Amino acid sequence: MAENILVIGGGPAGLHAAIELAELGVNVSLVERDTFFGGNPKKFKYKYLFPDLQPAENVIGELIKGAESNNNIKKYLSANIESFKEDGKKFSAVIKSSTGSETKTFDSVIVATGFEHFDPAKDSKYSYQLFDDVIDIKDLERMMGEGNFTRPSNGKPPKNVAIILCVGSRDRHVGNQYCSRVCCTVSVKQAIELKEHFPETEVYIFYMDIRTYGFYEDLYWKAMEEHDVQIVKGRVAEITSGPDNTVICKGEDTLLRGPFEIPFDMVVLASGMEGGPQSPEMADKLGIELDEHGFLKQANVTLSPFKSNKDGIFLAGACTGPKAIADAIVEGGAAAMDAYIYAKKNS
Amino acid sequence: MEYDENGVSIVSNDFKKEIFEEAKKDFRYEEYVRGCLNCGVCTGGCPPHRFFDFSPRMVLQNCKSNDPALVWGMMDEYVWACFQCFTCAMICPFLNNPGGVIAILREISVRRGFESAKKVLKPYSRVLLKLTAYGNQLSPDMIQPDFFPDWGPHIGYASEDLPLKRKAIPMPTLQVTNLAWDVAPEAMKELYTIFEEAGVFKIIEVVDPSLYEIIQDIVDDVRSE
Ligand code: SF4
Ligand code: SF4
Ligand code: SF4
């Protein structure tokens, strides 16, 4: 008899895990809280994915198609796990969806509940939601996905744009002490896209560090060398309203100019990633642990990063910490293997 | 005292070290000085940074450098440029408190009676006198054009005919101009004890010996009443 595995979360990691397991002949139940699969990339209409700037739709669309066309995957949308309990080495879960409640027994479980974008309104110095022209990376990503690069306040091309890194990350005040890992790369990518769209627009990036890790290093070289993006070391201390419908960024250029107050047409906040309310909810429901950053805790970060602290429950994607879509997909596959081995041994 | 070309007083390396150690021993130091990555957000939000060569980021970096000479370099003019508004502490992502460090350094400067502290506190001697000797902070007779240029063009009018103006105030004003309100002798005696215990009189003795003598005469008078 085929194994039964529960995958919670239909983003990149969950979709990939579900497809891999289905290919192995497993009966997969894929539970997604939203009305659609694809997770945050779909929800916020990401446009291009780094490093190769391929259209997000190609990647996410492919995953969704793979899951939808596979009959071994039972798909639950607008669904949640209503109750969950251990049953020997197996698990019993009540899945509640628009079509009603269903109780099922599973051999193992993969949690791939992802992350939430940090809400920049929580850090008042950035005046997010106070000024129309202060947006964040997910807003810009969505706008660009819709082919719109103009200022939200008046629909005109911006003369200059400030991109501010590390918003809601690496900051003891907001409570997120970690680096969100992808926002530097996404921001530099967005700077290049902006410049390609409006070559006349001046683009500034205000940074504490540029962490375009690994092979993405040359992304900001390209931004500087081909697009003349201004990369300034200094975190912005305050955003206020300026003359002629501008917003003023106030800060210190720690290397060159000293104090600055520059009026910008548009400001993009590189807001980071958070575990979101779903992480504690899952920890609570499934009896697994949260880490000190509000993400789900890996049993052993290096040796068994896809295991939770509970046997038979596995973790994949951004629910264990900020990461890129490519990494989330890799983890989906790895967790699928772990979950399959566990199911095989115990079924 | 001799000064170098930056206006920093010249002292021995051992003395610089002693001062730095004194700062580090302060119970607040560890809480105020944490990691610092030169992000500059404190300086970006610091009001005096727009007017002077003063930067809370440098305050933190100088402390982190563990170089007593760099810390000493801030002891003269530098530490007095801070407004003590603590915007820096509100926004530093590492939870540093450069304004708090400044407070620690200033207290050392005052305790040790450094020239810069004396110079900065001189204009406040009238306030110090009123406060410590009479329990008042500001009295009408202190309102003089020279001392309150920031009050604008009306300071002249405001400082004239004080006794008459006092009479027009519809609440008990003691009908005097050298006090704002009446402090009972018992309360004053208690205040003196507090100032003594807290080391306030001692500090005044260090930074302004002649002021200290005036205050002590008044204290003795009140105590013997
Ligand atoms: S990836 Fe860059 S912007 Fe994001 S938190 Fe890390 S350093 Fe800051
Ligand atoms: S406390 Fe001092 S250093 Fe800090 S922001 Fe205010 S003036 Fe600047
Ligand atoms: S804000 Fe904090 S971390 Fe940044 S430069 Fe100032 S003291 Fe250093």
Residue to probe by mutation, ligand 2, list B79, B83, B104, most atoms within 8 Å of CB: B83
Cβ contacts (< 8 Å) between A232 and chain B: which residues?
none
User: d(Cα A156, Cα A140) in Å, to the nearest integer?
Assistant: 15
- Measured distance CA(B94)–CA(B84) in Å, rounded: 19
Are the C-beta atoms of residues A43 and A146 closer than 8 Å to each other?
A: no
ipTM of the complex: 0.85
Contact call for A237 and B55, based on CB within 8 A: no
> Around Cβ A290, how many Cβ atoms within 10 Å?
15
In chain B, the domains with their CATH numbers are 13-114 (1.10.1060.10), 121-224 (no CATH)
- In total, the C-beta contacts within 8 angstroms joining chain A to chain B are 62
Q: Are A230 and A205 in contact (CB under 8 A)?
A: yes
d(CA A195, CA A197): 5
**Residue in B with minimal Cα distance to A169:** B93
Report pLDDT for A267: 98
Higher pLDDT, B149 or B190: B190
Question: Torsion over CA of B83, B44, A121 and A46, rounded to 10 degrees?
Answer: -170
* Ligand 3: residue whose CA is nearest its atom 8: B36
Which pLDDT score is estimated for A186?
A: 93
* pLDDT digit string, tens, across residues B52-71: 889 999 999 999 999 999 99
Low-confidence ranges of chain A (pLDDT < 50): none
Output the DSSP codes for A116-138.
EE--GGGSGGG-BTTBTTEEEHH
- What percent helix, strand, coil does chain A show, rounded to 5? 30, 30, 35
Structural contact between residues B51 and B82, judged by C-beta atoms closer than 8 angstroms: no
Identify the CA nearest to A69 among candidates A35, A3, A5, A18. Answer: A18
Q: What is the pLDDT of residues B95-123, one digit of tens each?
A: 999 999 999 999 999 999 999 999 988 88
Question: Rounded to whole angstroms, how far apart are CA atoms A88 and A5?
Answer: 15
Q: What is the per-residue pLDDT for A347?
A: 72
Confidence (pLDDT) at B150: 72
pLDDT in tens, A289-343: 999 999 999 999 999 999 999 999 999 999 999 999 999 999 999 999 999 999 9
Residues of B in contact with A208 (CB under 8 A): 37, 39, 93
Q: What is the widest separation between alpha-carbon atoms in chain A?
A: 71
Residues 6+ apart with CB under 8 A from A57: none
| Domains of chain A, first to last | 4-114+276-346 (3.50.50.60), 117-273 (3.50.50.60)
pLDDT the model gives residue A171? 95
Residue type, B177: T
Confidence of residue B25 (pLDDT cuts 50, 70, 90): very high
Render pLDDT for B131-179 as a digit per residue (tens, 0 to 9): 999 888 888 888 887 777 777 788 888 888 888 888 888 777 777 788 8
Looking at residue A99, its pLDDT comes to 87
Residue nearest to atom 1 of ligand 1 (CA): A181
Mean pLDDT of chain A: 95
